[in-house]
Amino acid sequence: MESLIETSPKHLLCFSHLRWNFVFQRPQHLLSRFAKDATVYFFEEPIFDSTTGAYLSISKRGDKLNVVVPHLPEGTNQESVNTVLGSLLDKLLLDANLNDWLFWYYTPMAYSFTNKYKPKLIVYDCMDELSAFKFAPKELIGLEKKLMAKADLVFTGGHSLFEAKKQQHSNIFPFPSSIEKNHFAKAKIQKDQPQDQANIQGPKLGFFGVIDERFDIELIRNIAQERPEWQIILIGPVVKISPDILPKNSNIHYFGQKSYAELPSYLSGWDVALIPFLLNESTRYISPTKTPEYLAAGVPVVSTPIHDVINPYGVKNLVHISGNFKGFIKSIESELEKTDKKEWLTEVDKHLKSLSWDKTYLEMLKQIKRTLKNINTISVAS
């Protein structure tokens, strides 16, 4: 596999709105791969729990992968947060040669306290349209514009997001959600389901991911009511919405967050996997990672008409697309009645053959090296 370290920079500092120990997704997949060569620091948003002043805790997740958490005093006012974070970052980078550093952003909010730095390369991996999410800071749109102007290279989390952003940067590329096929293919041969799921009798419909303002609560409620013999398994943390508004039907089972390693064993017992997202501003540009993950497990999928699911998965007839609960029920019933899925599985395998996080990493690396080469050429010329 190609290396980042050969070309410099040798250090990657990532600023993320997601925590490393949250749902294992795009940032974890990519940065784990970068950490095979470069030293990676994953800088999270602050926790306001310190009683002794502001400090950074740094914990290792691998030889070259470090998770950095700022701890700020409880009650630190918003005006002071960026000043304190900037001071903590100054200490982290005290003896650093920034010509050996790449800054990687998932959140434009971090630009507020990092804009004074001049690393060798700035990459903005725009995995979502964060400004459309619930409780998004009002400053986010303006900070993203500034980050776009400063970034040397921009990636997007899907093709629809690329189409929306491509006029904002001259060096921008789409990288949709990818897959660790071997990991999820374990579901095809898994014999024993986890105990909390094994005891549930009846056809199992499943979802894993974050349950938040994007999740279509009424769709799930209606399916559960219309087909009480079907069992709906929901795996993932509930965030930004009250658990009280979630449907409490006896055939809906909330298992909470499970580890990435556990997911194939749950998938092994599902008859159909669900992508029950609302159609709104927060889902307009998403490219759900779970789509190829469900498929790699050999589980049929029914999704609401999310643009980056329709194309390519719906267009290729790999996933059922429906805009209402009656359509979901019809698609689920058709899958439950099928006895032979060999042809579908062949087409799924054919599509997934070209997808992998390793490939995504290498393609990103290619763009990083090309951009660095251009920067070096300009530096020499000037």
Query: Which option is the CATH number for 181-352: 1.10.443.10, 3.40.50.2000, 3.30.70.1400, 1.20.1300.10?
Result: 3.40.50.2000
77 Cβ contact partners less than 8 Å away, ≥ 6 residues apart:
none
378 Cβ contact partners less than 8 Å away, ≥ 6 residues apart:
none
Going from N- to C-terminal start, the domains of the chain cover 11-178+356-381, 181-352
CB 138 within 8 A of CB 109: no
CB 14 within 8 A of CB 104: yes
pLDDT by residue, tens only, the chain of 382 residues: 566 555 658 999 999 999 999 999 999 999 999 999 899 999 999 999 999 899 999 999 999 999 999 999 998 988 899 999 999 999 999 999 999 999 999 999 999 999 999 999 999 999 988 887 877 788 999 999 999 999 999 999 999 999 999 999 999 999 998 999 999 999 999 889 999 999 999 999 999 999 999 999 999 999 999 999 999 999 999 999 999 999 999 999 999 999 999 999 999 999 999 999 999 888 989 999 999 999 999 999 999 999 999 999 999 999 999 999 999 999 999 999 999 999 999 999 999 999 999 999 999 999 999 999 988 776 555 5
Helix residue ranges per DSSP H, the chain: 26-34, 78-92, 111-114, 140-150, 159-165, 181-185, 195-198, 217-226, 263-267, 290-296, 307-309, 325-337, 342-352, 357-381
CB 136 within 8 A of CB 149: no
Dihedrals φ, ψ of 225, to 5°? Answer: -70, -40
Q: Is 209 helix (H, G, I), strand (E, B) or coil?
A: coil
The reported pTM is: 0.91
- Nearest in space to 357 (alpha carbons), one of 27, 127, 40, 61: 27
- What are the tens digits of pLDDT across the range 267-300? 999 999 999 999 988 898 999 999 999 999 999 9
- Any idea what DSSP says for residue 29? H
Dihedrals φ, ψ of 99, to 5°? Answer: -70, -15
- Nearest in space to 233 (alpha carbons), one of 261, 187, 202, 279: 202
CATH of domain 11-178+356-381: 3.40.50.2000
Which residues partner with 153 through β-bridges? 123
Give yes or no on whether 11-178+356-381 and 181-352 have one common fold.
yes
With tokens 């009798």, the residue in question is 201
CB 40 within 8 A of CB 14: yes
